[in-house]
Structure 1
Amino acid sequence: MTSVSSTGFALFGAALIAISYGLARFAFGLFVPPIRADLGLTPFLIGIIGALPLISFVFASAVAPMAAIRLGARNTAVMSGVFGVVGLVLISQSTGPLSLGVGVFSCGICTGLMMPALTAAMQVLVDRSLHGRVSSVMNAGTSIGVAVSVPVVLFMAGLWRYAYMAFAVMAVIGVFAAWYVIPSVSRVTPSNAASPEPISALQWWRLLRLSAFAFAMGFVSAAYWIFAPDLVVTLGELPSSATGWIWLAVGVAGLGGAVAADIADRNNPPVTQALMLMMLAASLALLAASPAQIWLAGFSALVFGLAYMSLTGLYLMTGIRLLPGRLSMGPVLPFIAVSLGQAVGSPVVGVLVNNFGYAIAFATFSAIGICVALLSPLYPRYIDQGGDEEAEEETGLQAAYDYQLVDEEGEPYSYEEEEQAKS
């Protein structure tokens, strides 16, 4: 393991998220047109396959905190990378829907394990006052991965098998990097025998509202992630290579999501959520209305990338603030909700495309997004409220960080001692 600063860890975490989220999960939509053509898959079947990594993500996220406790942050991150390598290789060699489905399912496990592993490592390497910001930067790594996949599709149009083999090589590099950088911290136990306070009814109610909005956003965004490239190729009759520019726009604009989420977190989250959901809905409607115009399609992708990454970053930071003493739970719940929404939305989009076409399917999901945005005043507020909430948050933070870290053998863990032992 090597020494790393808070900024360095944020950038390193963003790189691992780029591989696990960007390449192993969201890049799939970019390659749907050639994969569907080569394997003879229907839109409905693609919708089902597109939901598999989201389902496996939910299962992996549910066990990831326990894996980080039992196996340690380093081993959990490495295991995540191994699942990514296996999944990417299987996709590159798939001959039908079954092998393709197993590959994307394995990639979903990779995605679900990575963020909890990085969160566990963050508690050792990053000052607690920077946790929200570092998490937001790492979350923006998804956009980096999406952008990295663009040159591959531009220069290897139709050669999706070679593209996924290249992604697998990147994932192998990520496995070795995770083993070298991430500490072997395993679990946390109270140093003074004081356990965190139980989650209150008010906190559960806020988490429920947060999860409901995250689920709805995931449901609406599934249309774009899975079917946007296929829409411009099928309905707009653009070449497959042109979809690379759309994904590049999504990735570049998504990088601004880290900043936007941080600003929203410190100002008015409900208003920002409403604005970003409106932008998300508008991006779907714009793409369906002008799929043959590459510039309008690119603008739609810019709007979608900024809106999606801002929303996921906002949900992540809200979860951290709502459960400040439970970093393995607060950031995970909204991500699970987003993936559940995408898992439900993906086959629904496939059914609508099969029966009514792309334009109606995307317009329907756009309308749903607008309706959800109108409910944003119900988004949990946690900054402007007084007294009792602030005291509750402060108490949770104190309980959360008066902890003693222990290593994988159960001995007291010290990052500095591990560095000295290495040198």
Structure 2
Amino acid sequence: MKSLSSTGFALFGAALVAISFGLARFAFGLFVPPIRVDLELTPYAIGIIGALPLISFLLATLVAPFAADRLGARYTAVMSGGFAVGGLALISQASSALSLGGVFACGICTGLMMPALTAAMQALVKRSLHGRVSAVMNAGTSIGVVVAVPAVLFLAGAWRFAYLSFAVLAAVGVVAAWYFIPSVSRVTPANAAPPPPINALQWSRLFRLSLFAFAMGFVSSAYWIFAPDLVVTLGDLPSGATGWLWLAVGIAGLGGAVVADLADRNNPPITHALMLMMLSSSMALLAASPGQLVLTAFSALVFGLAYMSLTGLYLMTGIRLLPGRLSMGPVLPFMAVALGQATGSPLVGVLVNEFGYADAFAIFSAIGTLVAILSPLYPRYIDHEPGESVEDETGLQAAFDHQLEDAAGEPLDPHNGTSRNH
């Protein structure tokens, strides 16, 4: 194994995330128009198929921390890449809705990859840099989406060949993972104290974080699965034009790592409200002007920046809320996002069948706006010393935390949510 610096590992992790999340998972929506036509699928069927990788992602995420501990980071990452190769190759040979089941294997790939990278990060990266490195790796999704764009621009009618090309890239990723990722899962000093038990305030904040992540995943599912089909069906744009849509999503999404890092150090609730409002507005704009390529591309830019900023923010908030518990803190919000997308995808298909694309997107946009209004409840990691006033904490969050403090019967340290008596 060749040792990587913190920066090198962040970039390499972003490349593996690009393959697993960008190509194996989110590129599917880009190819929905030609796949739907070739295989004669209904929007409801597309919604069900779109939910399969999200369900398998959840199932894989449940066992991924144990796999990383037992097998080590290297073998878990290689196994993740193997599922990507198999799933992508199977999709390339699909002849019916049933044979598109390769998306299920792709979901397993994504569920295993991030825990494997997290375990490797513990061995290679200083703890103080975990949040920033995680945000950079998370932005790799956008890189994968961008890589998928030339395939749909030049191979709009050859989606099978495009998926076969993705499978080859995934195989390259498997070889690279074997070479660069350490075999150990983590490096822990023999005399290291175990992390303190999770207290009531931390559970409350994790619950709120997971609810917001679920809601964002639910709302965003409409865009990831049906946005390309919307502009083709409702806006009469050619299938190849959807490539520009995903290119805009990918390019803007690269800024998500920067926004998430700034939000983590400043005001997460306000950033969450702004980004979720932007995401909801992008869906409304797409539904209102599906035939205008410039406006649809602008909608994709807004969506890409908002989505990647929000997922990066959830990731970093999870790390902050449970320091020293990387197998839980950043995993729970990602599971909640996937569960929200798995729940929303079939529902969007039903709404499209019943009311059409425009009304379905408008409904989901309205839901996103309502959730954004509740952003003052977003959990915040408060960085100050005990005894200092909490002037920048939102009023709604303060009310929740004070109620928990009263219920616990002892004062809580606002710096990390643990009892001051510990």
Whether TM exceeds 0.5 here: the answer is yes
Q: Counterpart amino acid of 1:73?
A: A
The answer to whether the 8 Å contact 1:18/1:141 transfers is: yes
Q: What displacement does 1:196 show?
A: 1.7
Preserved CA contact (<8 Å) 1:29 1:225? yes
How many angstroms apart in 2 are the aligned matches of 1:338 and 1:316?
11
Partner of 2:120: 121
8 A contact 1:233–1:240 mirrored in 2: yes
CA–CA separation in structure 2 for the residues paired with 1:351 and 1:360? 12
Question: 2-side partners of 1:327 and 1:237: how far apart?
Answer: 46
Write out the 4+ residue segments of structure 1 that deviate beyond 4 Å after TM superposition: 187-190, 391-395
The equivalent residue for 1:254 is: 253
Question: What is residue 77 of structure 2 aligned with on the other side?
Answer: 77
Residue 312 of structure 1: how far off its partner (Å): 0.1
Provide structure 2 residue ranges, at least 5 long, that are not aligned to the other structure: 387-412
Once residues 391 and 329 of structure 1 are traced to their aligned partners in structure 2, the CA distance between those partners, rounded to angstroms, is: 16
**2:198 equivalent to 1:173:** no
Inter-partner Cα distance in structure 1 for 2:61 and 2:145: 21
| Contiguous gaps of at least 5 residues in structure 1 | 400-423
Q: Distance in 2 between matches of 1:121 and 1:133?
A: 15
The answer for the alignment partner of 1:300 in structure 2 is 299
If the length of structure 2 is used for normalisation, what is the TM-score? Answer: 0.92
Partner deviation per Cα, 1:289-324 (whole Å, 9 max, x = no partner): 000000000000000000000000000000000001
Q: Deviation per CA, 1:28-51, whole angstroms, max 9, x where unpaired?
A: 000000000000100000000000
Distance in 2 separating the partners of 1:280 and 1:75: 36
| Distance across 1 between alignment mates of 2:338 and 2:416 | 32
1:38 aligns to 2:29 (yes or no): no
Q: Give, as a single letter, the amino acid of the residue that structure 2 aligns with 1:85.
A: V
Q: Residues 370, 180 of structure 1: CA spacing in aligned structure 2 closer, same or farther, 3 A cutoff?
A: same
Tell me the alpha carbon deviations over residues 189-224 of structure 1, each in whole angstroms, 9 at most, x when there is no partner: 662263221111110000000000000000000000
Inter-partner Cα distance in structure 2 for 1:34 and 1:385 = 54
Determine the C-alpha separation between the residues in 2 that align with 1:234 and 1:378: 38
Alpha-carbon distance between aligned partners in 2 of 1:193 and 1:266, rounded to the nearest angstrom = 28
Partner Cα separation in structure 1 for residue 384 and residue 378 of structure 2: 13
Provide the residue aligned with 1:157 in structure 2: 156
Superposed CA deviations along residues 54-83 of structure 1, whole A, max 9, x for unmatched, are 000011111100000000000000000000
User: Do 2:156 and 2:239's aligned partners in 1 also have CA atoms closer than 8 Å?
Assistant: yes
* Alignment partner of 1:206 is 2:205: yes
In 1, Cα distance between equivalents of 2:311 and 2:61: 16
CA contact (8 A) 1:10 1:137 kept: yes
Kindly provide the amino acid, as one letter, of the partner of residue 113 in structure 2: M
Distance 1:4 1:189, change over 3 A: closer
5 Å-filtered alignment, 1:340-419, equals 340-384=339-383, 387=386, 388-390=413-415
Corresponding residue of 1:15: 15
Whether the 8 Å contact between 2:149 and 2:244 is mirrored in structure 1 is yes
Task: Tell me what 2:244 maps to.
Answer: 245
Alignment of 1:59-70 (within 5 A): 59-70=59-70
- Which residue matches 1:110? 109
Residues 225-284 of structure 1, C-alpha deviations (whole Å, 9 max, x = no match) = 000000000000000000000000000000000000000000000000000000000000
> Residue 225 in 1 paired to residue 224 in 2?
yes
CA contact (8 A) 1:43 1:353 kept: yes
Preserved contact between residue 70 and residue 187 of structure 1 (Cα < 8 Å): no
Q: Deviations over 1:5-32 (max 9, x none)?
A: 1100000000000000000000000000
For 1:262, the aligned partner's letter is D
Deviation at 1:390, TM superposition (A): 1.9
Show the 5 A alignment for 1:245-284: 245-284=244-283
Structure 1 residue 124 displacement after superposition: 1.0
1:394–1:173 distance in 2 versus 1, CA, 3 Å:
farther
RMSD over equivalenced CA pairs, Å: 1.5
What is the alpha-carbon distance in structure 2 between the residues aligned to residue 190 and residue 12 of structure 1?
26
Percent identical: 78
